[in-house]
């Protein structure tokens, strides 16, 4: 097939995509919609992997057996463990390693991080330059703040230990370590290490001003 125009380039890419997908399906991979699934030739897929529509797998990505890739997922140079669940709308950037049975869910972005066996990052979080321990649960809206904003300083790293339970809307200002079995209160921005088994609360105490609305309305 000659390629002399953009349209011909697109047609050639479609042919190559189909060949790659067919090769993986022949070895036991389930690709639900091959027409919307793009897998680069350098990607490794083990048997019994399931890939849902609108998935892009690039570079040195490796997906272990029984992993499930849900729609609208992009993975670049990532390793996805056996039985792991990814997506939908998930972005795994280079250096991401998901352990066996781990979960990276809806609108989750992970970069240069290791997520331990059975750990869960279910939704709406950015995890960059971090280590998340086995069995940890990272709640909705968690952010690892890894950029120091000072010239010449490297990005900091966040360590979240085994069986940690974070709260919604937590921020972790790296470098910071969260000990095993610790809990983080909702809305907390963590700037100091948290000992194992501790509850960390880093927010203002709630104040209720009773009768405020009526007084404000009456002028």
What per-residue confidence (pLDDT) applies to 219?
A: 63
111-131 core/surface letters (b: 16 or more CB in 10 A; e: else): bbbbbbbbbbbbbbbbbbbbb
The pLDDT value recorded for residue 9 is: 73
Distance between CA atoms of residues 68 and 152, nearest Å: 40
- Cross-sheet strand order for the sheet of 97-98: 44-45, 62-63, 79-80, 97-98, 114-115, 130-132, 158-160, 176-178
Q: pTM of the full predicted structure?
A: 0.92
Domain map of the chain by residue range? 7-203
Count H helices and E strands in the chain, helices first: 2, 23
Per-residue model confidence as pLDDT tens digits over 92-144: 999 999 999 999 999 999 999 999 999 999 999 999 999 999 999 999 999 99
Residue pLDDT, tens place only, 38-61: 999 999 999 999 999 999 999 999
123 is catalytic: yes
Q: Tens digit of pLDDT for each residue in 102-113?
A: 999 999 999 999
Distance CA 59, CA 114 (A): 18
Instruction: Exactly one of 72, 123, 149, 169 is catalytic; name it.
Output: 123
What burial class does residue 16 get, using C-beta atoms within 10 Å of its C-beta: 0-12 exposed, 13-18 middle, 19+ buried?
middle
CATH class for the region spanning 7-203 = mainly beta
Cβ atoms < 10 Å from Cβ of 207: 5
């Amino acid at each position: 097939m000659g390629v002399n125009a953009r349209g011909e380039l697109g047609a050639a890419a479609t042919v190559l995509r189909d060949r790659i997908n067919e090769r993986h399906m022949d070895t036991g991979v389930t690709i639900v919609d091959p027409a919307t699934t793009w897998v680069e030739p350098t990607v490794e897929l083990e048997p019994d992997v399931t890939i849902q529509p609108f998935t892009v797998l690039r570079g040195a990505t490796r997906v272990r057996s029984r992993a499930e890739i849900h729609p609208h997922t992009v993975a670049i140079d990532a390793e996805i463990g056996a039985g792991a669940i990814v997506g939908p709308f998930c972005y795994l950037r280079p250096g991401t390693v998901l352990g066996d049975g781990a979960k990276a869910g809806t609108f989750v972005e992970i970069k240069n991080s290791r997520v331990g066996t059975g750990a869960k990052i279910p939704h709406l979080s950015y995890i960059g330059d971090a280590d998340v321990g086995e069995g940890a649960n990272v709640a909705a809206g968690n952010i690892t703040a890894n950029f120091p904003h000072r010239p010449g300083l490297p990005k900091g790293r966040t360590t979240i230990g085994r069986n940690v339970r974070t709260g919604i809307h937590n921020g972790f200002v790296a470098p910071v370590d969260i000990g095993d079995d610790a809990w983080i209160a909702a809305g907390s921005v963590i700037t100091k290490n948290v000992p194992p088994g501790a509850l960390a609360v880093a927010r203002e105490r709630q104040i209720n001003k009773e009768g405020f609305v009526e007084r404000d309305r009456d002028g």
